[in-house]
Amino acid sequence: MSLKLTEALQKTVDSLTQTFADKVIEVYQSSGDTFIRVETDAIIDISNHLKNELHYIYLSDVFGIDRYTSEERFEVVYNLLSLRDQTRVFIKVRCEEENPEVESVTSVWPAAGWPEREVYDMFGVKFRNHPDLRRIFLPEDFQYYPLRKEFPLLGIPGSIELPSTTPDSD
């Protein structure tokens, strides 16, 4: 399958596939966006290259995906923009269901701090070397991850104390 990329996006893809030939797994387009899946252990080197050499200085978002598969269940996706070239790429890494872990990119893009915490809170993916990896929405002692596919839609009864719904009598 041939990709129809702008000149700037083609430069990005070529640079990554040449510099990190053994670490780039897949390049594809979907809905007009370009996705580059890379080896999990190369995320810091690739992030540094994207920021310093290819000018992807703006990390717009980091989000998680539960693929609900037996291998490489979780995916972490980095939404990057090059303001200079007016291009966007999505860098993807995958991790296993047992002890999902990815290196934090906060050393490259400090703005990754909060979105990485959200991925941790909702999916349970841990980010090594994150400066403040703790839950954002849920209590620290909450044992579950609500955006995992096996989490019940109505929640787990008794897993978290809910406020009373009866009116106070004064």
Mean pLDDT (whole number) for 34-44: 97
Q: Is the pLDDT of residue 23 over 50?
A: yes
In the chain, where the domains are located: 7-128
Rounding to the nearest 10 degrees, give the CA dihedral for residues 25, 115, 131, 67: -40
The pLDDT value recorded for residue 5 is 82
Q: Is the pLDDT of residue 169 over 70?
A: no
Model confidence, pTM: 0.89
| pLDDT per position as a tens digit, 68-116 | 999 999 999 999 999 999 999 999 999 999 999 999 999 999 999 999 9
The pLDDT value recorded for residue 159 is 75
Amino acid letter, residue 155: G
* CB contact at 8 A, 60 and 79: yes
Distance CA 72, CA 17 (A): 22
Q: Going by CATH, does the domain composed of 7-128 fall within 3.40.190.10?
A: no
The pLDDT value recorded for residue 168 is 66
Confidence of residue 1 (pLDDT cuts 50, 70, 90): very low
> Residue 20 CB: number of other CB atoms within 10 A?
16
Position with higher pLDDT, 138 vs 46: 46
* CB contact at 8 A, 169 and 163: no
Least confident among 40-49, 83-92, 96-105, 160-169? 160-169
| pLDDT per position as a tens digit, 117-159 | 999 999 999 999 999 999 999 999 888 889 988 876 766 777 7
